[in-house]
Amino acid sequence: MTQTLDNQQGRNIEKVVLGERPLRAEELVAVARRGVPVELGENARKAVGASRDHVEVLARSDQSAYGVSTGFGALASTPIDVESRDALQLSLVRSHAAGSGHEVEAEVIRALMLLRLQTFTTGHTGVRLSTAERYQQLLNAQITPVVYEYGSLGCSGDLAPLAHCALAIVGEGRVRTAEGSLLDSGDALRNIGLAPYRLEAKEGLALINGTDGMLGMLVLALHDLTLLLRTADIAAAMSVEALLGTDRVFASELHTIRPHPGQQASAANLRELLAHSEIVASHRGQVCTVVQDAYSLRCAPQVAGAVRDTAAHAEAVARVELASAVDNPVVLDDGRVESNGNFHGAPLGYVLDFLAIAAADLASISERRTDRLLDPARSHGLPAFLGASPGLDSGLMIPQYTQAALVSEMKRLAHPASVDSIPSSAMQEDHVSMGWSAARKLRRAIDALTQVVAIEVMTAARALELRAPLKAAPATSAVVEAVRAEVPGAGADRWLSPEIESSVKLVRNGTVLAAAEEVVGSLV
């Protein structure tokens, strides 16, 4: 479904050690996308061992403890005898591995498994050290359980996705190898010298009761947005320049009097990107007859800035979650095992939905600029649809249709999932977050935003060339040159899908951003 973006953050990470401090976002991305190996720190090993000691005592006692000596969900009042408590854990994993639909992307599953392992290392879940090591072994061998898209309500954790991961360590279900081959998990385990694993008291519950899927997808989305936001500023600068817009509205003193941090950052980028442009200079002062530019040009930093500030809020939520232990029940430091509601995905669901809204609006303003570039009534002298021979040639008319279709889809994806709740488990679980669903649609929205921004870059690059002999700014000229290395310029009509695909690739792999930053330094 989605493809990853090449944000260079965390590229120098060679391994990730868990349990010494909270997991960092860039470490998660390194493990999920690049297969960086994972180690368990000494503090993690001690914490896991200490919490397991408490569970062992409880598992042999007559004390009632949810998921240890009782059933689950609506069956929480059903006692389980001591001899059946280990079997209860395997039964739980099997019954909850009930996902359906398309396979989830490997990077999401790896992120999910890493986060579950991170929670084990907090010493609040009560799993054995060997259980934590089994997840470590699968991650490092790049054996990825097959997880399906539907099955999580985002409350009591991402139950079905996590259960499919747990199923893999007991030698059931299917997995993908590092090469992408589909195998029965028992065969995959034997290939790396491991036998199917036997779960003991509480472990099945600890393996499936977390918000790891939705958190993993949030972190990956935020990682991609850091690249996309800077690239969107580049696209905006190119369009402003090509449309003979003014750079005066990006002056720092205008943004100081409404000092949203994201807005100030975006305006600063636009100033840098448009510096020394002959095109912008050509219509300054008395020669300029346009009193005000359209909102899609003039308000670019306000919109892109608001997206930045939304992402900053989401990052703050993610940092808290990355430092959290999500399980039910949890083992407290004094040895008590207590039920709780920390598995509820509301904190994540809200920001996942919020980001989808922000991404849709950023795509919307990008599409409006593209449309303006193509309309001779509003483009200040550019040929209709930037065609070589308007009338005979349709130019870039239809890429804007593609943008419009993507933006329309993003608006539908912006409908919040977190306002929905369908009760489950015989009304025991009567309010759920739908955070997993919010995360899935955000991934689609990020992918669509990448395509929308790429089409604006492609369109604006052609428009800037049509302003010759006036020269574009050094930064935007560098971007045009990078685009031209892969995408032909103006000419007779031709098959455009490959050119759109190439433009998307240039945005996705960071080429567009790198070209601009080679001139102006790092954008913010």
Report yes or no: 379 and 372 within 8 Å, Cβ to Cβ.
yes
Ramachandran angles phi, psi of 504, nearest 5°: -60, -45
Instruction: Read off the tokens for 86.
Output: 């280990």
Catalytic-labelled residue, pool 66, 135, 197, 350: 66
Sheet of strand 174-176: strand arrangement: 144-145, 174-176, 182-184
What phi, psi does 98 have (nearest 5°)? -125, 35
Provide the angle, in degrees to the nearest 10, between the axes of the packed helices 511-520 and 212-242. Answer: 60
Distance CA 236, CA 300 (A): 7
Task: Report the sign of the C-alpha dihedral through residues 202, 204, 205, 206, in that order.
Answer: positive
* Pairwise CA distance, residues 164 & 167, whole Å: 5
Residues 475/235, Cβ–Cβ less than 8 Å: no
Residue type at 506? L
Closest listed residue to residue 323, CA positions, set 219, 221, 418: 219
Contact 106, 142 (CB under 8 A): no
Residue 271, φ and ψ in degrees, nearest 5: -60, -45
The whole-angstrom separation of Cα 322 and Cα 116 is 11
Q: Give CA–CA dist 295/301, Å, rounded.
A: 11
Among 108, 345, 327, 314, residue whose Cα is nearest residue 216: 108
Q: Degrees (nearest 5) of the Cα angle 26, 17, 24?
A: 25
Sign of CA dihedral 419, 424, 430, 432: negative
**CA gap 341, 260 in Å, rounded:** 35
Residue 183 belongs to what H/E stretch? strand 182-184
Q: What angle do the packed helices 511-520 and 474-484 form, to 10 degrees?
A: 150
Q: Is 66 a catalytic residue?
A: yes
H-helix segments, 415-496: 435-465, 474-484
Cβ-based neighbours of 260, under 8 Å, separated by 6 or more: 302, 305, 306, 309
Residue 466 and residue 393 in contact, taking contact as beta carbons nearer than 8 Å: no
Which residues have a Cβ under 8 Å from the Cβ of 130 and sit 6 or more positions away? Answer: 197
Active-site amino acid positions: 66
